[in-house]
A and B are shown apart, each in its own frame.
Chain A
Amino acid sequence: MDYLELRNSFLSELHGVLNTVELQALRSKYTGKKGVVTQKLKAMAAAPKEERAALGKAVNEIKDFIETQVKEKETALSKKDTRSYVDLTLPGAYIKPGGRHPVKIILNEIIDIFVSMGFAVEDGPEVETDYYNFEALNIPQNHPARDMQDTFYIKPQGAESPSHSNVESNIVLRTHTSPVQIRVMEKRKPPLMFIAPGKVYRCDSDISHTPIFHQVEGLMVDEGITFANLKAVLEAFLHIVFGPDVPVRFRPSFFPFTEPSAEVDLCCFACKGSGCRVCKNSGWIEILGAGMVDPRVLNMAGIDTEVYSGFAFGLGIERIASLRYGIDDIRLFYEGDLRFLRQF
């Protein structure tokens, strides 16, 4: 090995030294008993006599150089910190933050999007009268539309008789957040634009249904509100939630409280529309229901349909959360299992 090379390799190793332990190891690697420089010194005996003096001088020079450098480094290191070294691979002591419920993440995201568009946020009771939950929404008794929602009935309060059947009770757990529409329209006059998020109840339980889930209802009533407006507002919303390029389609449907009514579908993100298990081979995923508020509903709430028109929509939070996070069993939302909730 060339002496210059030896010197350089020593210097570069010295540069990487962080503590005295490493420094001593480096020192013995070069000038220790079995060190590189010591070996050189020993090898000198085999060299021709006339070269020995020059060699010896060079080896001693490098040995002095190394010793000086080690001393300097030692001084430099000693000026640092006397505390013992931390183990950077040990975990830190901190309070592990708790998980946020995925339904609440989506719920709040949706609130923020609509608030950014200027919608207010309204609330209403979870136990409702038949009037607000059905009648005022153009769902009369004995109408097949009642079959669209399996309803929990509440025993009328104060009634002693245990013989109340479902048919007689006019108190229900709200089956949708739509009653809030009516309650707000009765109190305030247009222009109205608000959403109503909250819990709703259906008498149903399996892998894709829980007796409780969350909806966000939306309403916009003013002069000159059109179906074209409904399309624009919901497209803007869906493009924020699911990405700006996802195709959205509006398809005629039926809700008793809207006319015309629309089912809004999203192009299936799993198959990009070619059909798969997620979208039941249709290429589309139903994401929300909407429509122009039925004039019967506006009239019942005391709003002049000659002057005003409006749109309403309703969407299920669990559905959006399931799609967003790839959750295939909706019951997971309500088991309180930390192995699930900790992931959010």
Chain B
Amino acid sequence: MLLPIEWLSDFIEITETPDRVAAMLTMAGLEVEAVYGEGHDSVFEVNITPNRGDCLSVLGLARDLSAITGRTLKLKDSYDSITQTSEEISVEITDTDLCRRYSGKIIRGVKVTKSPDWLIKRLEAAGVRAINNVVDITNYVLFELGQPLHAFDLYKLRGNAIRVKRAGGALKVRALDGVDRVVSGDSLLIWDGDRPVAIAGVMGCEGSEVTNETTDIFLESAWFLPESVRKTSKTLGLRSESSFRFERATDIGGTLRALNKAAELILELCGGSASQSIDVYPLRYEPVNVALKSKNVKRLLGVNISDDTIRGILERLGFIVSGNNGVFSVSVPSHRTDIELEADLIEEIARIHGYNNIPSVMPRAVVSAKVNKHKEILLRPLGNLLRQAGFTETINYSFMPLDTLDTFLIPDWDERRKVVEVLNPLSKEQSVLRTFLLPALIENLKLNFNFRQNDIHLYEAGTVFINDGNMLPKESFKLSMVSYVGSAKKLWSDDTPIFYKLKGIVDAIKESLWPADERDTEEGILLSYELDIGLTLSEQPFLSATNSGRVVIKRKNDAIPIPIGYIGLLSTEVMHKLGLKMRNSAVGVVELSLDEIFNVGQLPLRYKPFPKYPSIVRDVAIVVNSWTKQEKIDESIEAYKNTHNIDLIESVEIFDVYTGKSVGEGKKSIACHIVYRSAERTLVDTEIDDLHGRVVRFLLEETEGTLRS
């Protein structure tokens, strides 16, 4: 809110510079965000937090400044006689739950005209446009005292009556801004004898307002329930200086003060004569008494503040303090209904005493040991590995457009179709929560491709959301990668196909998490790949049927492998749909479930002695059918070891796979090293020559292969 500093000095003596006053307010929780102008003409922009409705006025800020400086608040009220009934107008509150007090006054014989310059100047400094003297005075009092007032043209009020009651049912009203709105049955309205004349606390209705022809007015000064005003104003999308204040609770004890201040100004500036104040106040404000112990002030703040200081601060803020020796009962004034508990009072004491005057003291913590299994911590080694492999980390929004599912050919039965919908998305592109990470990474890829990046390797670890019918959706933590290598020639070439590069990274993840050979651990973790070709489609409809597979984990006790993700190249169809225009280049993608991976945790490691005796290595190259898998060689060697009871074969390692004219159509050559070693002795060449010959013959039989010449 805008606060002209010279207005402030109506209520409190100000000796400091505007900058100093601004600093004092800021450090008491009334943040001055900007100071406009200089000296006497300075205007503060004060950011009032939602709990301090009482400070949305010059009076309220002056009261806090009085508590800060210790200077007296200059507030003198003049009250006239009060009546509950009037012959000229009858006022009745029907819904006393929403309106606890309704005060009013009739002023006859006013002359509606332009306001004097001093009033216009103050209003304009506070950011309000002048309209006419009567309306300006109601606004003036709103800014000065925080009490919204409303002026009706008395002649336009039918039946000499004011009724405060709910709309009862949906009702069309035209507010002063000329717009027709439908208010709900629960909204509180001000009625005259037969129609609504104002939306209570929000805005007056057309047809009852003060115009230049008005001579007699009825002034309203009421207290409406904050929640009710807020609901109505929010539903109607109609906010005003009045509704803003009512929402934040106005001072129920201040309606007459405002009414009289306004009447005083109207008589002075517009002429006329005023009636008695009408005051309908069925349930009077009962001050809450909050118990306060000074030992609790110390217990919560960690600093000793004397009883005198505590009492002084609270009294200057308008509280009535009784009791002594550190035990007080504090009566809460009607302008501070935000104060309900001892802690609320302690905050008042702390902010006026000054946070700067509270020391910094390290807590004496109870020490306990714990293992932090937060996903960000578990992710660290994987992130390091991926970045060393050239992948850059991205973070994308958790939203996706619904049509993404069609673009990626996700079938109807797929879990990824069970989307969680956002009711108020910022755009159609963000209408549902993402069920997989890949689409956003593909967008990242496109963006970077359009900026002519040649090598694009990205990963993201993030949450995906599946609507599983429970109250809250199923949230899973996933890792996704995309990889694209442009066709530009490079200084040091590396021709490894992108699929195998990606597979290498997944292998490395496994290796880094579970370094021991799976066969030697108790848990026996096995991360492997299954190529799921089917007839035309791979398991993931957006992947190439020939260049894809799923990644599975199988622990010793698992009956079947658990799928944890997929790896593959995007199909050309989907690349086309996505508008990916990389000619002759493939886009490799991976998605893994980090929940499943973290769930395995660490496996127990045990040292295994390594061999003492040297090995003998023999190579063999065999020509097999092109569909034969490398795995077949491993299986055959394993089979040979078992059937022939041979323990001299240590390992088999593929070092070349070749297809080409020299091996024939539909064939490929696989070359491998076979390592022979004994745990007990040094092997002799001739012995191994013999064994190797038998192994090779077995291998050829098993794989239906021939020796490569």
A residues with CB within 8 A of B:
90-91, 93, 95-101, 103-104, 107-108, 111, 115, 117-118, 120-123, 125-129, 141-145, 147-148, 152-158, 164-166, 169, 171, 173, 191, 193, 197, 199, 201, 203, 205, 210-212, 220, 222, 224-229, 231-233, 235-236, 249-254, 256, 259-263, 280-282, 292, 294-296, 309, 333-339, 341-342
Q: Cβ of B423 < 8 Å from any Cβ of A?
A: yes
Once the chains bind, are A211 and B426 in contact (CB under 8 Å)?
yes
* Chain B residues positioned under 8 Å from A231 (CB to CB): 355, 358-361
Cα distance, A104 to B376, chains bound together (Å) = 9
**CB contact between A103 and one of B360, B370, B395 (< 8 Å): that residue:** B395
CB contacts between A and B, total, < 8 Å: 276
B residues with CB within 8 A of A:
26-29, 31, 33-34, 49-52, 226-227, 230-231, 247-248, 299-303, 341-344, 346-347, 350-351, 355-356, 358-368, 370, 372, 374-377, 380, 383, 386-399, 420-426, 430, 433, 440-441, 443-444, 447-448, 451, 453, 456-459, 463, 465, 467-473, 475, 491-492
Once the chains bind, are B362 and A126 in contact (CB under 8 Å)?
no
CB proximity of B367 to chain A, nearest CB, Å: 6
Closest Cβ neighbor of B470 among chain A residues: A157
CB proximity of B56 to chain A, nearest CB, Å: 11
Known A120-B372, A144-B230, A220-B363; judge A97-B388 contact (CB<8 A). Answer: yes
Q: Can you give 11 A-B contacts (C-beta < 8 A)?
A: A96-B390, A191-B366, A211-B399, A222-B363, A222-B366, A227-B355, A228-B358, A229-B302, A229-B361, A233-B362, A339-B453
Cα distance, A141 to B247, chains bound together (Å) = 12
Once the chains bind, are B301 and A227 in contact (CB under 8 Å)?
yes
Once the chains bind, are A91 and B491 in contact (CB under 8 Å)?
yes
**CB contact between B456 and one of A144, A156, A235, A338 (< 8 Å): that residue:** A338
Once the chains bind, are B395 and A126 in contact (CB under 8 Å)?
no
Once the chains bind, are A250 and B356 in contact (CB under 8 Å)?
yes
Closest Cβ neighbor of B350 among chain A residues: A260
Once the chains bind, are A253 and B29 in contact (CB under 8 Å)?
yes
Cα distance, A337 to B301, chains bound together (Å) = 47
Known A97-B388, A253-B29; judge A334-B420 contact (CB<8 A). Answer: no
Main secondary structure of the interface of A (DSSP, over half): mixed
Once the chains bind, are A144 and B247 in contact (CB under 8 Å)?
yes
Cα distance, A164 to B299, chains bound together (Å) = 47
* Chain B residues positioned under 8 Å from A282 (CB to CB): 33
Once the chains bind, are A259 and B343 in contact (CB under 8 Å)?
yes
Cα distance, A111 to B299, chains bound together (Å) = 29
CB proximity of B131 to chain A, nearest CB, Å: 27
Cα distance, A294 to B341, chains bound together (Å) = 10
Closest Cβ neighbor of B225 among chain A residues: A142
Cα distance, A154 to B430, chains bound together (Å) = 12
* Chain B residues positioned under 8 Å from A120 (CB to CB): 370, 372
**CB contact between A232 and one of B299, B360, B453, B475 (< 8 Å): that residue:** B360
Once the chains bind, are B361 and A251 in contact (CB under 8 Å)?
no
Closest Cβ neighbor of B359 among chain A residues: A228
Known A144-B248, A337-B448, A342-B392; judge A127-B465 contact (CB<8 A). Answer: yes
A227-B301, A227-B358 known, 18 other contacts, Cβ within 8 Å:
A108-B380, A121-B372, A121-B376, A127-B472, A144-B247, A144-B248, A153-B424, A155-B420, A228-B301, A231-B360, A232-B361, A251-B355, A333-B395, A336-B443, A338-B448, A339-B451, A341-B392, A341-B394
Once the chains bind, are A122 and B423 in contact (CB under 8 Å)?
no
* Chain B residues positioned under 8 Å from A342 (CB to CB): 392
* Chain B residues positioned under 8 Å from A212 (CB to CB): 397-398
Closest Cβ neighbor of B30 among chain A residues: A252
CB proximity of B231 to chain A, nearest CB, Å: 5
* Chain B residues positioned under 8 Å from A155 (CB to CB): 420-423
Once the chains bind, are A118 and B367 in contact (CB under 8 Å)?
yes
Once the chains bind, are A101 and B388 in contact (CB under 8 Å)?
no
Query: Which of B34, B359, B393 has the largest count of A CB atoms less than 10 A from its CB?
Result: B393
CB proximity of B341 to chain A, nearest CB, Å: 6
Once the chains bind, are B300 and A226 in contact (CB under 8 Å)?
yes
Per CB-CB distance, the 3 closest pairs between chain A and chain B, nearest first, are A226-B302, A228-B302, A252-B29
Closest Cβ neighbor of B441 among chain A residues: A336
Once the chains bind, are A152 and B31 in contact (CB under 8 Å)?
no
Cα distance, A127 to B226, chains bound together (Å) = 29
* Chain B residues positioned under 8 Å from A252 (CB to CB): 27-29, 347, 350-351, 355
Once the chains bind, are B362 and A142 in contact (CB under 8 Å)?
no
Cα distance, A118 to B362, chains bound together (Å) = 13
CB proximity of A190 to chain B, nearest CB, Å: 9
* Chain B residues positioned under 8 Å from A335 (CB to CB): 444, 447
Cα distance, A342 to B396, chains bound together (Å) = 16
Once the chains bind, are B387 and A97 in contact (CB under 8 Å)?
yes
Known A262-B355, A338-B456; judge A228-B392 contact (CB<8 A). Answer: no
Once the chains bind, are B375 and A227 in contact (CB under 8 Å)?
no
* Chain A residues positioned under 8 Å from B492 (CB to CB): 93
CB proximity of A120 to chain B, nearest CB, Å: 5
Closest Cβ neighbor of A165 among chain B residues: B423
Cα distance, A333 to B460, chains bound together (Å) = 13
* Chain A residues positioned under 8 Å from B370 (CB to CB): 120
Closest Cβ neighbor of A201 among chain B residues: B398
CB proximity of B296 to chain A, nearest CB, Å: 9
* Chain B residues positioned under 8 Å from A309 (CB to CB): 299-300
Closest Cβ neighbor of A291 among chain B residues: B347
Cα distance, A108 to B343, chains bound together (Å) = 34
Known A197-B376, A253-B49, A334-B397; judge A227-B350 contact (CB<8 A). Answer: yes
CB proximity of A311 to chain B, nearest CB, Å: 9
Cα distance, A166 to B388, chains bound together (Å) = 45
* Chain B residues positioned under 8 Å from A107 (CB to CB): 376
**CB contact between A126 and one of B380, B453, B458, B475 (< 8 Å): that residue:** B475
